[in-house]
Amino acid sequence: MLVNVMRIRPLLIISALFCLILPGEVTAQEEASIDSLVSLLESTEGEEHLEILYELSENRWLTFEDRLSYTEDALNYAARSGEVRWLYNAHLHQGKVFSREAMDKEALESFEKALKISQGSADDDGIVTSLFWIGKTYSWLRNPEMASEYLNRTRSMAAENKNDLMETDALYSLGELNRRIREYEGAMAYYDTAYAMAEASGSGNMMAEINASQGMVMYYQGEFLQAVGYYEKAIEIFNELGEEDSESRNLLRLANANYQIARYDIALGHYQQALSIFEKINHEAGMIAVLNGMALIYFSQEQFDKALETHLTLLNMNRARQNKEEIGRSLHNIGTVYNKMAGDSLVARFGDFYMDSIKTEPSDKYLDLFREALDYYEQALAMWEEEDYKEGIKGSLHNMGIIYVTAGMPDMALPYLRRALAIAQ
């Protein structure tokens, strides 16, 4: 079975559309920029020195190990300086670096250290910022009770200190928390309040983020036309702000929403827009998500040559990333295209009731039509068994069993279908 976000399709399994920025090949221009920053470290001191360390720790062209090393350099430098505020900032920044890598437990530890330092120095701005990041991290750790506690403390303290920006951030994050736990009515209420504050303060970026999140709420509830409207508003603002990464992610979401209401040509156009930006900013996971969506549309439109071409491109990308689970998905999807082509050829030969013809004349010639599909399903199955990815194993076993049934060989189908059923149970 293959899943495209909220829609389940019986024959396809596509990759999740969650995007992470992955380091790619460093260009000569980027390498020169990194070298320039490193050389500046030797001639700078104080906050300027720390800012360079922070900039290096955020450089997506560097490995995570290198980026983390720069945060540790910042911590050591701040500790030696004796400046409490510098040490607070260094811990807060390291937490954000961990957070971007989804290392939430490590991030939480850094944010808690930042909170302790800011409380010790009675730094209200530091306290409210630390509370906010602790709340967000608990949300990502799927601890809604603790997340809600810290975010509400953030909201309350920000309101007391008339820190509208942090209060807006806290309201938005409470909306995000409710969205993740599928409390959609509560999420929309928080988003509406946060949007009013963002609009009053002229925070375009926050307005765009809220529109995007409201679009996701509508999407999850199957209100795809309303989702389209919210995504379009978000894209317009992000485009005006020059936020290419955010614009491309929402173009991807907009394409997905249009796909759900069968606006295939419109969806393809948005996928292609997103792809061009993802390629420009070297956002590999975004490229993969786009190509998955495009392949699904080609499959839906029975443009099998284009579907195969796109899935083969994805297979090569996933092999380069050495992501075995995604390699399995690509192999399975290629098998699915061949499976559909074989089934269509049987319908063309015998009509919609081709099974009657197969039952009266059992022969390996029908199975031969599915050889390529079986080969790719077997490769996917081997990959997923190696990873113990049960959902994928079940999908490949199921589809292989159905092929044998379709080819008039129910005895061959039973072992596959029984194994699939056992995993499902």
Q: Does the fold of domain 123-202 match that of domain 29-121?
A: yes
- Which amino acid type is present at position 327? I
Question: Topology of 29-121 in CATH?
Answer: 1.25.40
Q: Residue 6 corresponds to which tokens in the numbers above?
A: 């909220």
Are 311 and 333 a contacting pair, CB within 8 Å?
Answer: yes
- Whole-prediction pTM value? 0.75
* Sequence ranges of the domains in the chain: 29-121, 123-202
Residue by residue, pLDDT tens for the chain (425 residues) are: 443 333 222 333 333 332 222 334 445 555 667 778 878 878 888 989 889 888 888 887 788 898 899 889 989 999 999 999 999 999 999 999 999 888 999 999 999 999 999 999 999 999 999 999 999 999 999 999 999 999 999 999 999 999 999 999 999 999 999 999 999 999 999 999 999 999 999 999 999 999 999 999 999 999 999 999 999 999 999 999 999 989 999 999 999 999 999 999 999 999 999 999 998 888 888 899 999 999 999 999 999 999 999 999 999 999 998 888 889 999 999 999 999 998 888 888 777 776 776 666 666 777 888 999 999 999 999 999 999 999 999 999 999 999 998 888 888 989 999 999 999 88
Distances (CA, A) of 310 to 8, 172, 289, 299: 20, 37, 12, 10
What's the CATH class of domain 123-202?
Answer: mainly alpha
